[in-house]
Amino acid sequence: MSSAFNSKNPRVRKARQKHSYNNPFMIVLNFILLITLLGGGLALLYIHSSFAWLLIGFSIIPLMMLFWIKNDLAEIPIVSSNDFTDLISENLLLLLNEKMTPANLVEVLPKTPGGAFIMARFGLTIPFFEQVLPFLPASTEPIYNSAKTIREKTNSAEITGSVLVVAVIENLPNYEQLLNQLKLNIIDLYRGISWFNYLNGIVKNSKKPVHSGGIARDLAFGYTPTLQHFAINLSDRYTGANYKIQQAENAEIIQKIIHTFSHDGRQNVALIGAYGSGRSTIVNSFAETLMNADSKIPNNLKFRQIYSLDAPSLISAASNQSELEYLMIKILNEIYSAQNIILCLDNAHLFFEEGPGSVDITNLLVPIIEAGRIRMILIMDHQKFLEISAKNPALANSLNKIMVNPSNEEETLKILMDRVPYFEHQKNVVYTYRALTEAYRLSEQYIHDIEMPGKAKLLLESAAAHANNRLVTAESVQTAVEKSYGVKVKVAEDTKDREKLLNLEQLIHERMVDQEEAVSAVSNALRRAAAGVKNQNRPIGTFLFLGPTGVGKTELAKTLSEVYFNGETNIIRLDMNEFVSASDVSRLIKEGASDALSLTAQVMKQPFSVILLDEIEKAHPSVLTTLLQVLDEGILRDEKNREVSFRDSIIIATSNAGANTIREKISAGESITELKEEIINDLISNGEFKPEFLNRFDEICLFKPLSKEDLIQVLDLIIASTNKTLANQKISVSLTPEAKQILIDKGYDPKMGARPMRRIVQKTVENIVASAILSGAAEAGSTLTITPSEINIT
Amino acid sequence: MVIFEMLSWWYARGWNIFIKKLRTTLSNTVDFFSMNSLIRTLFKPYRQISAETAGANSSLDLRFHMFLDRLISRFIGFFSRLILLITGSVIILVGGICSLTLILLWPIIPLIPIAGVILTITGVTI
């Protein structure tokens, strides 16, 4: 059949008629004609004129016209054939013509709702299409052919503007490469078509009347004044409304609930799943099903209303346990008498344990649950269910458990697509498709307390605050994550940031000397992270620095923190000689409220940071075992069993183990590279570290002892640091080469590294400067030059 | 041309659509008066006001009192439902008859202008 547009198709004619007649002017004109003819006819009838019949008779014509316009011309359905014109949506019928070129087609597509939708949501802008115009096919026929295939692939009822936009793209040579540039693929565009169809369906559905049971629906059901006071009626909003909330995703679970409540046996359902997994949505969806008279459900469930008991208001209303039990009995009696209530206990554990905001009324509830005379839905998470099961096995056995698992990527995207119109309405923004996929990806990575789809919804909602010109893009979602969780998720795009990353080694060497291997290793790790090529399920980098004292191991960690992690303060430093017993493991994972300096508390607060584990060899083996998971997967659970992510941290462990061997072998002329394997083997054979621990590090870097030549640079860096301190007083200090040589001779100690040099500078240079300032010899703007004669080392 | 288009629709799809619309209206009326619920719960106590039942150990006096209470509630329920049922049935019946008449008259509606012309020519007045 034809793949060309045919302007003689009856649908096109109908569309022209619709355009001409189904408009406010014609409708008002017909009304005026009807009233005039009918009114005139009745008036003539009153004065006994036979012309009255003529006018009354002809008044039927505008009436028929109105009926025809409002019905036949209301919508132009597609015709089931394989002809392109029969299959296109009615808004395209008047926009297309037979002489149309692909370029003309591209011009008209943004004028259709589907075209505009897909172009806005996928960033397929007009300039994008202008750029690809020369590469489009010569005629529209291949595009129309593709449109027919896409319609079938996406199960679309008709060929809409969105289908045609995708068809245009599919007809571009190397379209996959083009889409890659927009971080999209053709499957994403197909999902976009389904998204448009779904939203279009909701709009059409909302116009259909919903049978809600009528005026006498609740006559046979009792009054529940106490329940109304302490519970929220979830069914209220669904009376006569057509929400159709995520029914497809939850259909299986809803069927299970319907089956449980419509058959004899225990009349309860325990929805067990993590927070955010959609348990409340299922209850709402079930409430909507029950309130729709057209739902295919048993009569004994129709128009049953779900009330969610508000535990805090119930507890606050009762002054003691017996009063609370009295209230609860009153509520349960009302529910039993009313016969149309399903009681929902959200966070059901609040009714089975003592604590702030919760109360243990197990003894009251268990017999009722077991008897099964009141329908109940209990919502709780896995952990709480296990706790309740351990405490009260009878209760656990009497519950009909339904597991609510977190949604996968496909399901989450569908749920987000369903929620987006509500967010857009509330926040007056427009979300792009990439914002949705990014919300899924980043929430999976950074939000650990909530499950899918809840966490993706949460992130998408918060991204609205970072919209650019009311458009919420992937970047808005990234900014929301960066602002909320203090991490860097954007691939370095800013020129300044890129420059910094490309010259990281140089920047680090402004603060420390040599140790090229280690400097290069950490710089490469950061560049990989910033370019988005690092493994997302591991920390940015994990390094073990081995070497003698004072050679720059800790200094490198501090420098890195200052150069890239927004200041030296963004370093989480743990002296591992404070973790020498097995019981110290608990100090690593303590909750923030009880110990703000525990490793998990600090990382939770500041995930984007350098973690320095100083003198790791001194830590107890149990502590090292605990750290294995951090080094491997970037995850550690705190004492409350919450996952803490280390995936945005760079972990540096330092150790002096093997320092003597390194020093001796390097002095004997061996190279660092040759030495590394030998040192690692020694550490394992000496029992200093277990192989599985060493194996977890991305790189083990050996720090070589500082030579006298290195020390010249160290001295320069120390003097530069002194000058930085003096900068406020506008005084600077310099040393003559001879004076420098004296300090180097005195400060050089291969065993101690750079530390003695720092002490020497303190004793000499800083003392000289202090005396000069106090005696008035050094004034603002002056430079003190220190000569050998001034240096007095005892 | 438009008139011919309209007339051809009138005698084909238009008639069908009109029947569907009337059926929807009737169905909405049935829902509005809760006819299904009214028939199903005709003898149930009104608002379950005396839904409490006497226990196994209750005295004969209490049992009789409960029974009476429940009977009155059922009577009130039955009476109120019956009124609604009758009102709804009458409206649905009238609506149904009107709908049927309109469906039958549908083909002759386009002939009304011709009838008007004839009546005018014959000079009929009232």
What does pTM read for this prediction? 0.79
Taking the C-alpha atoms of residue B10 and residue A681, their distance in angstroms, rounded to an integer, is 94
Q: Which CATH superfamily is domain A225-403 in?
A: P-loop containing nucleotide triphosphate hydrolases (3.40.50.300)
Residue A375 φ/ψ, nearest 5 degrees: -75, 130
Task: Examine the pLDDT at A750 and tell me if it is beyond 70.
Answer: no
Taking the C-alpha atoms of residue A686 and residue A680, their distance in angstroms, rounded to an integer, is 10
Domains: count for chain B: 1
pLDDT, greater one: A193 or A551: A193
Taking the C-alpha atoms of residue A643 and residue A441, their distance in angstroms, rounded to an integer, is 17
Taking the C-alpha atoms of residue A404 and residue A398, their distance in angstroms, rounded to an integer, is 18
Computed over every residue of chain A, the mean pLDDT equals: 87
CA distances from A409 to A195, A436, A455 (A): 15, 11, 12
Chain-chain contact of B116 with A17 (C-beta, under 8 angstroms): no
Chain-chain contact of A216 with B112 (C-beta, under 8 angstroms): no
The yes-or-no answer to whether A225-403 and A495-702 have a common fold is yes
CB burial class (10 A; 0-12, 13-18, 19+) of residue A322? exposed
Q: Where are the domains of chain A?
A: 23-71, 84-206, 225-403, 409-485, 495-702, 708-790
Nearest Cα of chain B lies from the Cα of A47 at a distance, in angstroms, of: 9
Return the CATH fold of A708-790: Helicase, Ruva Protein; domain 3 (1.10.8)
From first CA to last CA, the distance across chain B in angstroms is 35
Which residue is closest to B21 within chain A, CA to CA? A71
pLDDT for residue A667: 72
DSSP A301: G
Is the Cβ of B29 closer than 8 Å to some Cβ of chain A?
no
pLDDT for residue A52: 94
- For B74-123, write each residue's pLDDT tens digit: 899 899 999 999 999 999 999 999 999 999 999 999 999 999 999 999 98
Which of A63-77, A283-297, A493-507, A550-564 shows the lowest mean pLDDT across its residues? Answer: A493-507
Cα A428–chain centre separation: 20
Question: Has domain A495-702 been given CATH number 3.40.50.300?
Answer: yes
Instruction: Note the CATH architecture for domain A84-206.
Output: Orthogonal Bundle (1.10)
- For A522-570, write each residue's pLDDT tens digit: 888 778 877 777 777 888 888 888 888 777 788 888 888 887 777 777 7
Structural domain including B22 reads 2-122
Taking the C-alpha atoms of residue A655 and residue A672, their distance in angstroms, rounded to an integer, is 16
pLDDT for residue A244: 57
Taking the C-alpha atoms of residue A90 and residue A144, their distance in angstroms, rounded to an integer, is 16
pLDDT for residue A794: 57
Taking the C-alpha atoms of residue A501 and residue A527, their distance in angstroms, rounded to an integer, is 6
pLDDT for residue A251: 86
Token readout for A794 is 């005892």
Quickly list DSSP for A155-167: T-SSB-HHHHHHH
Q: Assess contact for A571 and A603: CB atoms under 8 A.
A: no
Taking the C-alpha atoms of residue A137 and residue A132, their distance in angstroms, rounded to an integer, is 11
What beta strand segments (E) does A171-298 contain? Answer: 231-233, 268-272
- The count of CB pairs under 8 A between chains A and B is 126
Q: Assess contact for A610 and A561: CB atoms under 8 A.
A: yes
Give the residue-averaged pLDDT of A38-52. 93
Pairing of β A571-575 and β A643-645:
unpaired
Confidence of residue A295 (pLDDT cuts 50, 70, 90): confident
Nearest Cα of chain B lies from the Cα of A220 at a distance, in angstroms, of: 5
Give the residue-averaged pLDDT of A363-378. 90
Considering only the top CATH level, what class is A409-485? mainly alpha
Which of the given ranges, A184-188, A393-397, A706-710, A752-756, has the highest pLDDT on average?
A184-188
Chain-chain contact of A45 with B44 (C-beta, under 8 angstroms): no
Pairing of β A401-403 and β A430-431:
unpaired
Pairing of β A341-345 and β A375-380:
parallel
Confidence of residue A582 (pLDDT cuts 50, 70, 90): confident
Query: What residues contact residue B123 under an 8 Å CB cut-off, 6+ apart?
Result: A50
Place of tokens 């994972």: A589
Token readout for A199 is 């939203």
Optimal mutation site among A68, A208, A340, interface B, most CBs of chain B within 10 A: A68
Quickly list DSSP for B49-98: TT-----TT--HHHHHHHHHHHHHHHHHHHHHHHHHHHHHHHHHHHHHHH
Token readout for A763 is 């004793």
Q: Shortest CB distance from A215 goes to which of B32, B114, B118?
A: B32
Enumerate the residues of chain B whose CB falls inside 8 A of the CB of residue A54. 116-117, 119-120
pLDDT for residue A779: 74
Give the residue-averaged pLDDT of A240-246. 58
Query: What residues contact residue A711 under an 8 Å CB cut-off, 6+ apart?
Result: A744, A747, A748, A754, A757
Computed over every residue of chain B, the mean pLDDT equals: 89
Token readout for A129 is 């299409």
SS3 A472: strand
Give the residue-averaged pLDDT of A744-767. 74
pLDDT for residue A1: 59
Is the Cβ of B1 closer than 8 Å to some Cβ of chain A?
no
Task: Examine the pLDDT at A38 and tell me if it is beyond 90.
Answer: yes
Which residue is closest to A337 within chain B, CA to CA? B51
Alpha helices in A47-101 (DSSP H): 51-58, 60-71, 84-87, 90-93
Cα atoms in the Cβ-side hemisphere of radius 13 Å centred on A481: 29
Task: Examine the pLDDT at B44 and tell me if it is beyond 70.
Answer: yes
Residue A620 φ/ψ, nearest 5 degrees: -70, 145
Confidence of residue B29 (pLDDT cuts 50, 70, 90): very high
Chain-chain contact of B33 with A49 (C-beta, under 8 angstroms): no
Chain-chain contact of B113 with A303 (C-beta, under 8 angstroms): no
Please tell me the total number of residues recorded for chain A in this structure: 794
Taking the C-alpha atoms of residue B126 and residue B107, their distance in angstroms, rounded to an integer, is 26
Give the residue-averaged pLDDT of A766-794. 75
Which of A365-374, A713-722, B31-40 shows the lowest mean pLDDT across its residues? Answer: A713-722
